[in-house]
Amino acid sequence: MSQHLTLSSLPLFPLGSVLYPGGLLALRVFEVRYLDMVRKCQRAGAPFGVVALTQGQEVRQAGAAQEQFCDVGTLAAIEALDNPQPGLITLRCRGTQRFRILRRAQLTNGLWTADVEQIDDDQVVPIPDDLKVTATALSQVLHTLRQREPDIPALLPEGGDQLNDCAWVANRWCELLPVPLGLKQRLMELENPLVRLELVGDVLERTGIAQ
């Protein structure tokens, strides 16, 4: 078993969504705790951690429930940052590697940090013949999205090699499908990418998206 890399005091960004490895995340940041965090991360070329909320809200409000979030999240690497006006930063990030929280703490400014261990990347598993329909349908959906929104970064690389990777195809479908947040989180945490794609295939078949 490989030794997991441990990161200390990783800044966290709890969100009402799940970030998958390879996925894109656009953020508008205006809370002081996060403005300072993203500036420091960009200067250091360091990631921050995205975790899914189980209680509370993304933006702190007086009298709101205390933030609680999942133990497994995904590192977010900043690809683009803009400061369109004072007190506002827009970000484009990409999910890289999953992690598991070992210890967590909240700073006086409200920012959460954690000591985490990184979870091994999904193994590259070729898509079996009975699930190739999921990749074909995904390619069509991404093509349609790029036509509608030509300014968004392309999700599909030239050559489409990742369309034969169980994890990549499953992750992109998990981002697109309108399924409950708890299910998205459980699918992200699965260690076997083939099982993840099989479950996604079941959803696609039930909804008639891919048959």
Question: What does the pLDDT look like over 57-88, one tens digit per residue?
Answer: 877 776 677 889 999 999 999 999 999 898 99
Q: Average model confidence (pLDDT) for the chain? A: 89
Whole-number pLDDT of residue 22: 93
Q: What is the mean pLDDT of residues 101-118?
A: 95
Whole-number pLDDT of residue 152: 58
Query: Between the CA of residue 100 and those of 12, 114, 118, 144, 200, what are the distances in Å?
Result: 12, 9, 6, 35, 23
Whole-number pLDDT of residue 1: 37
Sequence spans of domains, the chain: 6-118, 129-207
Task: Give the Cα separation of 176 and 142 in Å (integer).
Answer: 10
* Percent of residues, the chain, with pLDDT higher than 70: 90
* pTM: predicted TM-score of the whole model, two decimal places: 0.89
Superfamily of domain 6-118: LON domain-like (2.30.130.40)
Whole-number pLDDT of residue 158: 46
C-alpha torsion sign, points 51, 57, 61, 65: negative
In this prediction, residue 156 has a pLDDT band, given cuts at 50, 70 and 90, of: low
Whole-number pLDDT of residue 60: 74
6-20, 50-64, 191-205: range with lowest mean pLDDT: 50-64
Q: What is the mean pLDDT of residues 179-203?
A: 96
Whole-number pLDDT of residue 154: 53
Whole-number pLDDT of residue 148: 79
Which amino acid does the sequence have at 122?
D
> Do 6-118 and 129-207 share a fold?
no
* Position 25 pLDDT exceeds 50: yes
In this prediction, residue 50 has a pLDDT band, given cuts at 50, 70 and 90, of: very high
Q: Which residue has the higher pLDDT, 154 or 113?
A: 113
In contact, 93 and 79? CB cutoff 8 Å? yes
Superfamily of domain 129-207: BPP1347 like domain (1.10.4060.10)
Closest CA to 155 of 11, 9, 43, 24: 24
Q: Spell out the residues 6+ positions from residue 89 whose beta carbon is closer than 8 angstroms to its own.
A: 28, 29, 30, 35, 38, 39, 81, 82, 83
Q: What is the mean pLDDT of residues 106-135?
A: 94
